[in-house]
Amino acid sequence: MVLCVLHRGPNLRLFCLSFFFFFAVNLRSGAEQKVVFITARVHPGETPSSFVCQGIIDFLVSQHPIAKVLRDHLVFKIAPMLNPDGVYLGNYRCSLMGFDLNRHWVDPSPWAHPTLHGVKQLIVQMYNNPKISLEFYIDIHAHSTMMNGFMYGNIFEEEERFQRQAIFPKLLCQNAEDFSFSSTSFNRDAVKAGTGRRFLGGLLDHTSYCYTLEVSFYSYMLGGTTSTVPYTEEACILYKSIHPSECFECT
């Protein structure tokens, strides 16, 4: 499905074409749709974001028994490249027009931030649909100085909601050897107010969980050791390892 198309003149017609996938194979008709919404590559220089997103898609369409269970119970909506014109131009952080799209979630313009506008409209429509429950929003990035995979989450006044939000990154830490819960942090910095994770965390109700998933550009440290493992294209398929392994940070 094409999310939006924007023409930038006669020679640049293909800019801003953003594809959108969704997977739901075995849901009962009439059942409430529980949706996991994933976005990636809003920052064009963060190529590991695309490898991780590709790994998630490959797993979800596989015949792995856990993938089948996920498809039986959840709808996955994935926008794998939120900044296609920036990627095409080789930009590091901005779109064609020079915007950091991950600072414009509050009021995206259909003209200046078309992919963001399209995704936000879709999410708001789902949120207002009583037959849909938006369970997770995960925005995939890559980090240029930190190691491992980790998350940013939101801070809420309600202690119970805040604690619930920490469960998912703890589970990731237990099940993926390169994911670090100790590097995961929760904040509400003003400078991050325009990010997807912050904006949707404020818009959606307490049943939804919103995260930024970061993966290092470089390598990860194995828990309990000082040895580092470089991320290769294959290793960047971060959550392929779904068999629980000992988690040194959580124990």
- Name the residues annotated as catalytic: 214
Nearer to Zn ion, 45 or 202 (CB): 45
Is residue 141 close enough to count as binding Zn ion by CB under 5 A?
A: yes
* Structural contact between residues 213 and 139, judged by C-beta atoms closer than 8 angstroms: yes
Is residue 77 close enough to count as binding Zn ion by CB under 5 A?
A: no
Burial (CB count within 10 angstroms: exposed 0-12, middle 13-18, buried 19+), residue 59: middle
Nearer to Zn ion, 236 or 247 (CB): 236
Nearer to Zn ion, 31 or 191 (CB): 191
Smallest distance from Zn ion to CB 125, Å:
25
| Contact window for Zn ion (CB under 5 A) among 14-22, 127-135, 138-146, 219-227 | 138-146
Partnered with residue 33 across adjacent β-strands are 132
Q: How far apart are CA 44 and CA 95, in angstroms?
A: 8
What amino acid occupies position 235? A
Smallest distance from Zn ion to CB 167, Å:
24
User: Which residue's structure tokens are 């939101």?
Assistant: 154
Nearer to Zn ion, 117 or 141 (CB): 141
The site for Zn ion, by CB under 5 A, has a size of 3
* Spatial CA neighbour of 75 closest among 8, 14, 22, 15: 22
| Contact window for Zn ion (CB under 5 A) among 25-33, 45-53, 183-191, 233-241 | 45-53
Is residue 43 close enough to count as binding Zn ion by CB under 5 A?
A: yes
Q: Would strands 21-23 and 2-4 be described as parallel, antiparallel, or unpaired?
A: unpaired
| Contact window for Zn ion (CB under 5 A) among 35-43, 56-64, 72-80, 114-122 | 35-43
Smallest distance from Zn ion to CB 116, Å:
14
* Structural contact between residues 74 and 67, judged by C-beta atoms closer than 8 angstroms: no
Please give the span between the terminal C-alpha atoms of the chain, in angstroms, as a whole number: 43
Smallest distance from Zn ion to CB 91, Å:
12
Residue 181 φ/ψ, nearest 5 degrees: -75, -30
**Residues in contact with Zn ion by the rule CB under 5 A:** 43, 46, 141
